[in-house]
Amino acid sequence: MKVLLLDKNHPLITEQLSPKGFEFEEDFDSPYDEVLQKISNYDGIIIRSRIPIDRNFLEHATHLKFIARVGAGLENIDVDFAKSSGIKVISSPEGNRDSVAEHVLGMLLILMNRLFIASDEVKSGIWRREENRGDELKGKTFGIIGYGNMGKAVAKRLSGFGVNVIFHDILPNLSDESGTQVSLETLKNETDILSLHTPITPETHHLIDEEFISAMKKDFYFVNTARGKNVKTKDLVEAIKKGKIKGAALDVLEYEKASFENLDAPSSPGNHENEDLKFLLNSEKVIVTPHIAGWTIQSKEKLAQVIVDKILAEFAVS
């Protein structure tokens, strides 16, 4: 099988698949239109998120048998059309769930204990203790929306922190030793810390907006390592300013490019959305990281290994 690599990934992919009869070509730079002209030559694609695999792309991919997405989210792929065309869509959320879970905990501990702020102050010769008094996780109710690979991994990491973990998911009967499934109304009534782990779909686009935030009974901390467009940024900013959201830890932003490689924020002077972004980047109540929650040394290898194992399970040719 002839496979096109559209993003750089761990070399174990080619090292393990080549002996099994897979042939590889790399193209890490060509734009969408150029890739489109040659895609009919390939049986498979391995990609992260560099270009969209939309219906037009797939209609040109006349010999394609599989698309392997090294990662979790599939919003850049027209999954329904791919499946209707007999193309197998493979992803690897199992590969970076541990790094996402650790990132959530890391950001929360830094945010709630003002660690960045206190460290910067001490390095600048400022010694303030009362002003940097922290807030403990223990005894709080941690609410999770989306109890798939990422949500479950976060719940498992919280087992030693003395928190009550509840979650809401569209699928039923998911309660386990790490978390208890509840209605969305119950989650809104009880949550002290809200962590989002949903894909981006029409139903989850701007899920966290003024209406949702106002329905939360308590003032709360908010964590988003899912997708930036799950959150309506201007409503998030207003809630932080009013104190309804006590602090936010954001690994993703509404203004990211589709490839997740950088920001694509509006830049015109006075643009309201741009002012919202400025607020997030300058607020002491907000931690922002560049979409790296699933981005560790270990996850790079694990993501690739999961992809290899799934490809071989479906398409072993020798």
Tokens of 33: 């239109």
User: Does 304 map to a domain?
Assistant: no
CATH code of the domain containing 276: 3.40.50.720
Mean pLDDT by 10 residues, the chain (318 residues): 95 96 96 95 95 96 96 93 96 96 98 97 97 97 98 96 97 98 98 97 96 98 97 98 98 85 61 82 96 95 97 81
Check residue 271 and give its pLDDT: 55
Check residue 268 and give its pLDDT: 46
Which range marks the domain in which residue 225 is found?
96-288
User: Does 295 map to a domain?
Assistant: no
In the residue annotation, 227 being an active-site residue is answered as yes
Q: Which one of 91, 125, 144 terminates a domain? A: 91
Number of domains in the chain: 2
Q: Find the catalytic residue in 190, 227, 261, 314.
A: 227
Q: What pTM, to 2 d.p., does this model score?
A: 0.92
Check residue 177 and give its pLDDT: 97
User: Does 214 map to a domain?
Assistant: yes
* 68, 148: one domain: no
Check residue 260 and give its pLDDT: 73
Q: Find the catalytic residue in 10, 69, 114, 291.
A: 291
Check residue 73 and give its pLDDT: 87
Check residue 53 and give its pLDDT: 96
User: Does 179 map to a domain?
Assistant: yes
In the residue annotation, 129 being an active-site residue is answered as no
User: Does 294 map to a domain?
Assistant: no
* 70, 102: one domain: no
Check residue 269 and give its pLDDT: 47
CA angle, 145 then 246 then 193, to 5°: 30
In the residue annotation, 275 being an active-site residue is answered as no
Q: Find the catalytic residue in 69, 97, 103, 256.
A: 256
Check residue 288 and give its pLDDT: 96
Beta strands at 164-168 and 220-224: parallel, antiparallel or unpaired: unpaired
* 167, 259: one domain: yes
Check residue 266 and give its pLDDT: 55
* 251, 140: one domain: yes
User: Does 297 map to a domain?
Assistant: no
User: Does 302 map to a domain?
Assistant: no
* 108, 155: one domain: yes
* 110, 142: one domain: yes
